[in-house]
Structure 1
């Protein structure tokens, strides 16, 4: 049976941010914490050892695989800051064109620092991602 690696934990978000080596990344992590909290209306929770997530949803794929994940989140990693938005959201690409300096992965958007991106576009990405996931995976 598949065991989901990234689960919500009771670990402290502030302790995690304080453990980030780079003072600039720590500062950006606190700014992101404020932006995500204000935009989502959810309290930040740790998911696994290094993802700060907001809200949650339950997904179930056609394969039968299912689990829980944060609606949105971020992680101040050593190389870049990872932003977690809904994979598969068809409207994401258009917003990312206006976002600023970033790279993308399957579900992640990577930035070096907040100063490189448009915070208003970030807020829109957060809201849009949440709406997409809640529409795609309605919660009972």
Structure 2
């Protein structure tokens, strides 16, 4: 994955439906606050910071340290492993999960404090190198 250098504000202005656009603005504020970094576009993903990863299985590449994407059906928040957040997820509110994705259809319906904890914990773990089978090297 690579940064595309697009304008984040222009991208967000084009997000539809309008609710997802409002959620994107809120997510940018949350991730900016947690990471202390500015948002950058990685295609249709809004990322904060960047790192190089290498898994035990040998796959590697570049990725944002913290990221989300305002998809039509839901806001997708990228995590290290959703299973690592069991109790937090139980307290988050309505959502769905994938292996490393958290899907939120209504940001107003979830507990913003719990969402912040999930993002902050993953961010901290990447910076500290506490990520299990995958190593991350922060590149900016």
State if a TM-score over 0.5 links the two structures: yes
Aligned length: 133
Change in CA separation of 1:138 and 1:64 when aligned onto 2, cut-off 3 Å: closer
TM-score, scaled relative to structure 1: 0.87
Q: Tell me, yes or no, if structure 1 residue 83 matches structure 2 residue 81.
A: no
Q: How does 1:81-120 map to 2 (within 5 A)?
A: 81-87=75-81, 91-120=84-113
TM-score, scaled relative to structure 2: 0.87
Contact 1:54 1:71 (C-alpha < 8 Å) held by counterparts: yes
User: Could you say what the CA RMSD is over the residues aligned between the two structures, in angstroms?
Assistant: 1.6
Q: Tell me, yes or no, if structure 1 residue 127 matches structure 2 residue 125.
A: no
The Cα of 1:138 is off from its aligned counterpart by: 5.0
The Cα of 1:99 is off from its aligned counterpart by: 0.7
| Structure 2 counterpart of 1:13 | 8
Give the number of the structure with larger relative contact order, counting CA–CA contacts within 8 Å between residues 6 or more apart. Answer: 2
The Cα of 1:64 is off from its aligned counterpart by: 2.9
Contact 1:71 1:85 (C-alpha < 8 Å) held by counterparts: no
List structure 1 runs of 4+ shifted beyond 6 angstroms: none
Contact 2:53 2:137 (C-alpha < 8 Å) held by counterparts: no
| Structure 2 counterpart of 1:3 | none
Q: What are the superposed Cα offsets for residues 28-77 of structure 1, whole Å, 9 maximum, x if unpaired? A: 110111111011111111112x1101112211123332111111211111
* Unaligned 5+ runs, structure 2: none
Contact 1:13 1:44 (C-alpha < 8 Å) held by counterparts: yes
Change in CA separation of 1:42 and 1:91 when aligned onto 2, cut-off 3 Å: same
